Structure formats: structure tokens, C-alpha cells
Structure 1
Amino acid sequence: MLKKYLNNNQRRILTALILTGILSVASGLTVVQNATGASANLSLETSNEVIKDNIKLNRLPRPVAKAVLRDLARRQGILTRQLQIIDYNQQTWRNGCLELPQPDEFCSQALIPGWRIVVSDGKENWIYHTNNNGRSLRLASAKNPSDNLPAKLPPSVKNAVLQAASKRLQQPISQLTIIQAEQQTWSNGCLSLPRPDENCTEAIDSGWRVVVGAVDQTLVYHTNQTGSAVRLNEKASNSTLSPVQIPASELPPPLDRDIVFRQISSGGFTGRTYETVLLKDGRLIRVRIGDANDSERSVRRVSAQQVQQFVRSLERFKFSKFQNLSYPAPSGAADYITYTLTSQEGTVRYNDISQNNLPKNLQTVVKAWNQIVVSAQ
């Protein structure tokens, strides 16, 4: 009886264990299914939340998205919640205008990392170009993507100009940007750019003036209407360099109150750095940076009248408009001297190789400064 009882009891225990295992497995499956369902729901909810917030979790920074939505809402007079970012991708814009220059706007040729963003209200789409943090943004177009040209430049002209610029600069077309295009009427058949000893027809010819931007240079082209005739305006191309912003980390300290102007020169064959300052009292002090014994210090003077004339030159030729701009040397250049000029209103940087290609006003300021240095006694 005891044996039978034990056997029966064992069978019941075994049966209970088996049933418990089955239930556990079933329960486990239910848990897995529930977990899977929860995961799917979470993914869906997350996706919906992404769409609602107009941000993909691992890419577009929230400040950039908010800046774009606020700008478009203001332009359209609607609420931001009526707008949705439907697409975006990272871009590196080839100029400071984010490849969307305004008419007659000068664009620095700095490479600007940022975003291309498409916003929709369900009826229309808008395309934005921004920098990395959204503090700089521009509306490209509504409804359809734009080719980003400031004028309706014919494709044949665009292609002809880009091919000419690519050949001249030895750069791929992908590294070039048309930053300005305007219709022109040329005074002769040579597109107003006659070559030496060339006979040009006196017929008035219509066409285009196109400005092409590269990383460190701009080229100005004259064309006819179709692009079958293209000529480089060398004088206009060489008259200015495309500046870039001086990184904040490379800006020198501001001037003390008693200093009118400062020049820091560095590089060249010697690689030495010199600082020259003009004080209000007419003293011109030059030292070599890193000279522990101060053995190369020199102190000279100019008259109070010369100081006043120089200050007026800074104001007259608007030195402040070049604030924090750098005019870089051509690609591949070596052993050049970099000059950093600072007034009470700002800093500009250039080099001896490109000095003759600086904007005219800046060249005039540089000339006035050199005259101060030469005349000091």
C-alpha cells in the first residue's frame, strides 16, 4: 500500500511538474509575444514621436530642426505643429551663403558643414539649407528643389562655364559653385573682353556674366547666350580673393586702449613671428615673439599727424568691414608670410603672395600701414 501510495504520489508530482513546465513554457511564450508586441509598439510609438517632433533620433540635431520649423512657421504665418520634416541629409556647402547667395551678395568660400532639410505642411514642400547648429539657415525653394542658381542660367551656359573653370583651376566640377549669374549686354563680339590685336565686331551681343567659386578663389566669366563662347575676365577674377572666417581660436587678443594698430607677421623662410604695434603717442614698437632676451625689440616714432591720418584711413576705407576675415594663400603655396592686422574694430589676415589680389580698400589700408612703418624714425 505504501509502495502504491508512493508510486501514485510520484506520478501526481511528476504530472504536476510536467503541467507546470508546460504552463511555464506557455507563459514564457506569452511573455515573449508580449515583449515582442511591446517592442513593436514601442518602435511604432517612437517612429510616430519622431515624425511628431520632426527629428530622427540619431541624426538631425533638435536645435536645427526647431530653428527651421520656427523660421518657416513665421514666414507662412502658421503653427510649427502644422509642419513636418519629411527628409534631411548632411551636406557640406561650398560657400558661406550655404550655396544660396542673394543678388549681389559676396559669399566667403569656406566649406560649411550642415544640413539640407525638407519641410512639408501636407500640401507644399520647402527646402532649407543650414549650418551644423541651425544658427545660419536659408530657404532654398518651395514645392520643388531648386538648382540654387541666382538666375535662370541655361544649362548649356552653366556646363560650359564649369568646364572652363574646372580646366583652369585643375579641380573637379563637384568642387565648384556658381555663386552669381546675371544677364548682360556686351559691347562687342568679344564679350567686352578683347584680346591683344584682336578685331572685335561692333555688334552688341547679349549673354551672361557668371561668377564661379572654388575653395580659395573666384573666377568671373563672360559668355554669349548659349555658352558656345566663354571668356575669363582675368581682371575681375584677380581683383578679389574669396575670404574665409578666421576661427575664433586663432583670433589674437583685442588691442589695449592706447594701441591704434597691430601687425603680426609669421612664416616665411625663417619661420619667425614678429609683432609691431602703433601707439596713440606715435611710438612704433616691434618685437620678436619668443625672444626671451627681448634682444630684437625696436622703438621708433611717427608724428601725431601721421597717426591721425592713418586712423582716418582706417575709417575712410572701412577696415572694420573686413572684420575676422582671412584671405588665404593659393593651394600648394609655401614659404609665404602671413600678416594679421588688428585695429580697435577688428582683425583681418592675408599673405604676401596674395597681397595684390586683396580688395582695393584693404590694399589701401595695407599701403598706409607700410608707409607708417617705413617713415618711422
Structure 2
Amino acid sequence: MKTMLKNYCTTNQARIFTALILTGILSVSSGGTLIKNAMAATANQPTQTTSEVLKGKIKTNRLPNQVVNAVLRDLARRERISTKELKIVDYSQQTWRNGCLELPQPDELCTQALVPGWRVVVSNGQQNWVYHTNSNGRFLRLATAQTPSVNLPTSVKNAVLQAASGRLQQPVSRLNITQAQQKTWRDGCLELGGIDELCLAALTPGWRVVVSAVNQTLVYHTNQTGSVIRLNEKASENTDDDKVKPVPIPTSELPPPLDQNVVFRQISSGGFAGRTYETVLLKDGGLIRVRIGDANDSERSVRRISVQQVEQFQRLLQRYRFSNYKNLNYPAPNGAADYITYTLTSRQGTVQYNDISRNDLPQNLLKVINAWNQINSNTQT
């Protein structure tokens, strides 16, 4: 980072020097003084400028000076070090989901209001600290202050960071452990077992660890050494991951439960034609599609997949936690028209989405949808 900033300042100095020559201001007698003053002006830019150049590109939204000063002063007070030893290495605008800036203290009641603000990463060259602030820095919280990770075993830390790095496709250097809490899990699956998974019924000491990156937070459950680690996908879902904000489906609008021999069902409705189709997958591999309201049943189609494929799809529903989206609707943008709404139902629950916002859905839900669409496209009459 120091090298990058040095190069940035050097480039600015060269530009200033060139400008002085072109305008004829520079002279033999006064040139040294002008250059010296120009270099001093460049070096004395506000602290926030150091965070403007990140990874070779310019940040378009500048971090306000009052936020910079508030964060640096708070950390300097906490760590009893000079603000001169601290540097802001990354920041991003955020909209926090509650008045606690998504960092509530135990048993704290948080106002359920969206709070515009910033996520700021500060470094002393050896350690990083992550802050959540409001828009002007008058209200801020240190993420690592809530549940310090000082006692987190190195083996657990490394295991969690490696897992998060692989999932987010980001280097470990860009990840921060913002929370680490000792836990005693109720079973050997760390309380994250699947529906049909056999979990050892024994108390398991371990850790709950939160890893943060830009626009993403992951929550992991581990055992005491980190040799067993699981991602809590439901807790990891956040507003950054869900580009479309889900809303509960009213009970009165939920479809009827599945028949005993049905594994999965899709109901599609809307579009230009305004027709409604129902497709069901049976336990024996039968795939039946009908149009609702077709008196002659003329559009019925019957296809088939293998029982092994049915079982594979059921395992996929568990693997990607389809139940996490139980009774949620991902609505279309306001003013949208002629879109198709899909209602998917499994034994774990029902979820709704539409063809306009499909690509903005959570990644795990998309994986389920893609697998289901593949079953539909690969079956034979």
C-alpha cells in the first residue's frame, strides 16, 4: 500500500511540474521553491485520500472526512496508539438493516430501520479492524469489539478463512474474522444437519465464527480444533446477497400441500398469454405437466426421469437448504408487466420468484432452480 501511495504522489508531482513548465511560471530562481511547495501540498492531502487509490482504481464515492476522523480516533483510543500509525485500507457504502448497524450487543433491542452508512477497514500494517458507521460517523461500531477473536485457535482461524476464501473466490488477505464466539453445539453436526442426516447426539464444544468481505458475510460453525466446519447458510444470507428483497407469502396465498406421491411442484402463471401451468415430479420419476383450466386436458404431457435422478434432486434440495426460503416471495420490480411468476413447492416449503428478477436471486436458490429446469429440459416423452 505504501508503494502504491508513493507512486500516486510521485505521479501527481510530475503532473504539477509539467504544468508549471507549460504555463511559463517556473523560473531558474524560483523553481525550487515552487516545486517544494507543490510537493508539500500533495503530501499534506487529507487522510481519506490514502483510501482513494485501491487496487489500481479510483473510488467514485469518497469517504467523508468526519467518518475518517471518527473511526481513526476511536481505534486509537481503544488500542492506545497514535492515529499516525493507522491507515484506512478499504471502505464501501452500505445500508445497514437496523439501528445497531448489524452489530447488536447481547439482548440489545435494535430499531428496524435502514441506516445509510459505511463499512471501513483500518490497518496498522499488522492487523485489520472493521468498523460499521452511519453516514456521518457520529454513530459507529467496531465489528471485532462485539465478540473478540483473540482466543480463537489458529487451526480454527485458518480452516475458516480457507473455507471462506474458496467459497467467495477471494484471497485470504481480503477476508476478516469479525466475530468469534465459543459455543457448545447440541450434536455432532454442529446444529446444521440435513433432514435425513444422522447426527451424533453428543454435546460438541466449538466456535461460531463470522467472516466478512466486501458486500458479503459468512457464518461458520466449527468443532474445537477446526477439523469439522460447516457453513450456516441461513445466517450467511444478507441484503447484499439478496439483491431482491424477499417478502413473506401470505398464508391465504400459499398453494395446497403436495400429495403423498409428489416430490416437487412448479406452478407458472402470467406472461403475455396469461396461462397457468402445473408441473409435478413424482417419486417414481414421472413428470406431469397440465394447463390449469384446460377442459379437454389437451395440453397434458407425461415424461419420465430415473428414480436415481429423483433421489439426486432431493439430496440437492437438502444440500442447498431449500427450506431456508420457506414461504418467501421474491417480487418483480415496481411497474413491471407481462412477467411470469413461478411457485416452487417441496416438502420443505414454498418459494416464489419471477423471470425478470431471476438472476438477482440468492445463489443457492438459483442452483435449485437450475437443477429443476435441467430436469424439465432433459426428460423425454
Answer whether TM exceeds 0.5 for this pair.
no
**TM-score, scaled to structure 2:** 0.42
Give the greater-gyration-radius structure (CA): 1
Query: Which structure ranks higher in relative contact order (CA pairs < 8 Å, sequence separation ≥ 6)?
Result: 1
